[in-house]
Chain A
Amino acid sequence: DSGVTQTPKHLITATGQRVTLRCSPRSGDLSVYWYQQSLDQGLQFLIQYYNGEERAKGNILERFSAQQFPDLHSELNLSSLELGDSALYFCASSAGTSPSKETQYFGPGTRLLVL
């Protein structure tokens, strides 16, 4: 168990809908990362938050947004869902952003299926 929790484990929804994925980092970790994993693209970095502020952005669509709250949990919002958004969404956390603290620990993921 990595100490990172994600809810829900599974999500089935329809095209055009909006969903929210939730992540709680390991105790004491300030950085949260979101990744998308699909069969054809592999694990793709979406976005990073550090202590409530956006730190880095990857291949995140404009229909997607995220935030990190004062208690350090994070939410990833996916809107106007398309079939191609079906994937595993992982959250990872790390202690900070200095090199010695950048080991990322992954949660169990949320499996999203868009029908």
Chain B
Amino acid sequence: QKEVEQDPGPLSVPEGAIVSLNCTYSNSAFQYFMWYRQYSRKGPELLMYTYSSGNKEDGRFTAQVDKSSKYISLFIRDSQPSDSATYLCAMSSGGSQGNLIFGKGTKLSVKP
């Protein structure tokens, strides 16, 4: 079993839809959870950062972490064509091992 599993998609939605992106993980030591957005031929860009369990909201984006289920989600409300990108979940146990473990990414396309 991979440490982080993410459905690669592709996921295609109409403009204005609510998008739900998910990752599951197996390592209970993970405490830091992130979502990155990566446009084609660009570097990943940090969208959301969450420590431990709970919800975090930033504009149209909401990140949820459920450590008991080892499941994290990213919701995008009122999706826009400019949201079309690959979304990568990433997580870390922190401390001296601050490197991130990434999911393979979900490719999202928002159609006008």
Listed in ascending order, the chain A residues whose CB lies under 8 Å from chain B are 2, 4, 31, 33, 42-45, 48, 55-56, 58, 90, 94, 97, 99, 102-109, 111
Q: Which of A4, A43, A94, A107 is packed against the most chain B CB atoms within 10 Å? A: A43
Say which size band chain B's interface belongs to: 20 to 34
Q: Which residues of A contact B28 (CB under 8 A)?
A: none
CB distance from A110 to the nearest CB of B (A): 10
* A55 and B103 within 8 A (CB): no
Chain B 26-51 interface residues, beta-carbon cutoff 8 Å to A: 31-32, 34, 36, 41-46, 49, 51
* B51 and A99 within 8 A (CB): yes
**Between-chain CB contacts (< 8 Å), 13 pairs:** A33-B100, A42-B103, A42-B105, A56-B96, A56-B97, A56-B99, A58-B99, A90-B43, A94-B98, A97-B95, A102-B98, A106-B45, A106-B46
* A48 and B98 within 8 A (CB): yes
Q: Which of A90, A99, A108, A109 contacts B94 (CB 8 A)?
A: A99
Q: Is the interface of A mostly helix, strand, loop or mixed?
A: strand
* A2 and B98 within 8 A (CB): no
Whole-angstrom distance between the alpha carbons of A57 and B20 in the complex?
Answer: 33
1/0 per residue B34-72: CB within 8 Å of A?
101000011111100101000000000000000000000
CB distance from A91 to the nearest CB of B (A): 9
Q: Which residues of B contact A105 (CB under 8 A)?
A: 46
Q: Which of A58, A99, A108 is packed against the most chain B CB atoms within 10 Å? A: A99
Whole-angstrom distance between the alpha carbons of A46 and B45 in the complex?
Answer: 19
* A45 and B46 within 8 A (CB): no
* A56 and B102 within 8 A (CB): no
* A43 and B98 within 8 A (CB): no
Q: Which residues of B contact A31 (CB under 8 A)?
A: 98
Q: Which residues of A contact B80 (CB under 8 A)?
A: none
